A = this chain, B = another copy of it.
Amino acid sequence: MTNNKAPVCGIEFINEEKVAIVKENFPDENEIFELAETFKMLGDPTRLKIVLALLISELCVCDLSALIGVSVSAISHQLRYLKNMRLVKFRREGKVVYYSLDDNHIVTIISETQKHVREN
């Protein structure tokens, strides 16, 4: 089954069997999409800083703005994103809204990735 012509695109499959084996062991499309979504969520410096901060302590929007150095509005937009992704939760105390992490796995994901960047 090696070196057959693909009828549609005209590309020769160098190794159809290998491709088939990989396909069998592949996560389903939906899981891949969710994996990518999770990585994308952490792939923006502002959002990552928010998560890193909340990893240490519960904080209000104003604190996060001062700490990270971007506008309250920008922080709020990103917090909504993270809230929709169910990574953070919040509680209201008078006028102040406190955000905290609503996830157990993120610590491990981040520390594993820290190992990665430190050893490269």
Contacts and interface: CB of A to CB of B under 8 A. Distances in A.
A18 B109 contact: no
A35 interface: yes
Contacts of A13: 62-63, 66
Contact of A38 (B6, B59, B113): B113
A83 B108 CA distance: 26
Interface residues of A, number: 60
A30 B48 CA distance: 13
A33 B12 contact: no
A93 B71 CA distance: 53
Interface string A9-40: 00111110011011101110001111111111
